[in-house]
Structure 1
Amino acid sequence: MEKIQLSSLNPNIAHLDWAEIAAQLDLEGYAMLPGQLSEDMARNFVNQTTTMCTSQRSLLESSGSGRGELFYFGASLPAPLENWRTEFYRNLAAIANRWNEILDIDSRYPAELGDFLKRNRQAGQAKAQSHVVSLGAEDHVNLHQSSEGKHVFPLQVVALLSEPTVDFTGGEFVMTEQRPRMQSRPMVLPLKLGDAAIISTSVRPFKGTKGHYRVNMKHAISRVRQGNRIGMELTFHDAP
């Protein structure tokens, strides 16, 4: 089986338009990153990760979180994927620190992912959360946040590893935004095969007419009507 190459994931993360990405995150709470994986690499990646993660398979039904299967990577992600996550973190830490400053949160994130994960372990956060999610017909993921623990990174990366209308129908990636004293605002991210997106993990600042305030974010995957939908979530912090 062909090995995953870092260059196939994205050789130029540092050279993405991070000013535009930051602006989109400020405005919507997510930023689309089209074509982060080629079609061949996305499908090959599915085959490898579901095999590697079989020992850490979890059913969404068991936690009341929906219906379908999660395959957790555990503490050690495949090296190219860990490099990918590390490079994303380096570029997202500045955005995360700016958000904390706006929200008057004292903590700041270190420049390197390894240093941040050390803080996690010192606080008793050692449960890795990054995973592949496999959903068949009638499966879905309920609205949720990956926000457990003292040290929570406010951004994460999601990717779609199968092709809408070809491999599956339904299964839209959905986010909701709850502003104070307002009804929730739903958003559907138009992910295609190989696309990724940076999303808000739980809370983010929103600039209103009277200044910034905190809004609450959740995400979900709607019911798959036919076929098999496979996606991935990468988080930058561990859970207790």
Structure 2
Amino acid sequence: MPPSTELKNLDWAAIAGQMDSEGYAVLPGLLAPEQVHALAQRIGGDAALRHEPLSSLDLGRGDLYVFQSDLPDPLAAWRKAFYEHLAPIANRWNEALDAAYRYPALLEEFLQRNREAGQTRPLSHLSRLGESDYMALHRQSEGEHVFPMQVVALLAAAGTDFTGGEFVMTEQRPRMQSRPMVLPLQRGDAAVIATAQRPLKGSKGYYRVNLKHAVSRVRSGQRIGLELSFHDAP
């Protein structure tokens, strides 16, 4: 089944509602076992991946493998199809926040805006975290054209391939303590998450809340994950 059909069959009204209320929406079993295996096998064996130690980025311990050129299938097709479903949500968020910016309907048009603004550094990557490794709280929000959502996925079996390594998000609301959230991901699960900000309705209308995400310390084994971004960095 092509990725566009897979994603079209998802309950997008429910996903939009979860993004509005929580800032994330888990998509159980989105990746088939053979897709999970093929993606995980790219680590260490794909010349198109640029290795970046998390320590060199001051983002924790472990390793990132960044896709330097065009994404391989099925990631390229997923990125395009996901964007087309998420752009209306992103535009509704901007409207709620009285932001004039509107995202184009097609990913290629948005990436052209990225290129014109000097945003040409890919952000989508695989990650590999071993025992005692972790990914610090962060967000990918550099540049003039930042898409407010991204997709993450787990490519290893929690409790079998590794222990610990929970995917964590924090949400900072004005004049309130940060709200922690743990996403219960299993091997093959994906999630749409807010990249850096989202609107939240208060008593006086909508306001921005700030979000970051991280991976807690791996206690044993090896955790492999995926982050799929829709914008590039400067």
Would you call these one fold, judging by a TM-score over 0.5?
A: yes
1:16 is matched with which residue: 10, 16, 31? 10
2:19 aligns with: 25
1:233 aligns with: 227
1:148 aligns with: 142
2:38 aligns with: 44
User: Which protein has the bigger helix share?
Assistant: 1
**Is 1:72 the counterpart of 2:66 in the alignment?**
yes
CA distance in 1, matches of 2:44, 2:83: 24
Shift of 1:49: 5.0
CA distance in 1, matches of 2:47, 2:212: 25
Contact 1:53 1:71 in 2 (8 A): no
Shift of 1:78: 0.3
CA distance in 1, matches of 2:148, 2:44: 27
Shift of 1:105: 1.0
Q: Match of 1:52, SS?
A: coil
> Which is worse superposed, 45-54 or 186-195?
45-54
1:119 aligns with: 113
1:103 aligns with: 97
Contact 2:170 2:181 in 1 (8 A): yes
CA distance in 1, matches of 2:62, 2:48: 14
> Which is worse superposed, 91-100 or 38-47?
38-47
Provide Cα deviations, 1:154-174, integer angstroms capped at 9, x if missing partner: 000000000000000000000
Contiguous gaps of at least 5 residues in structure 1: 1-5
Provide Cα deviations, 1:112-156, integer angstroms capped at 9, x if missing partner: 000000000000100000000000000000000000000000000
2:158 is matched with which residue: 151, 157, 164? 164
Q: TM-score, normalised by structure 2?
A: 0.96
Contact 1:158 1:234 in 2 (8 A): yes
Contiguous gaps of at least 5 residues in structure 2: none
Shift of 1:38: 2.0
Q: TM-score, normalised by structure 1?
A: 0.94
Query: What are the residue-to-residue correspondences of 1:123-134 with 2, within 5 Å?
Result: 123-134=117-128
CA distance in 1, matches of 2:96, 2:201: 10
1:3 aligns with: none
Provide Cα deviations, 1:160-218, integer angstroms capped at 9, x if missing partner: 00000000000000000000000000000000000000000000001122221110000
Amino acid at match of 1:228: Q
Q: Percent identity?
A: 57
Structure 1: which 4+ aligned runs deviate by more than 3 Å?
A: none
Supply the RMSD in Å over aligned alpha carbons: 1.4
2:82 aligns with: 88
Query: What are the residue-to-residue correspondences of 1:209-220 with 2, within 5 Å?
Result: 209-220=203-214
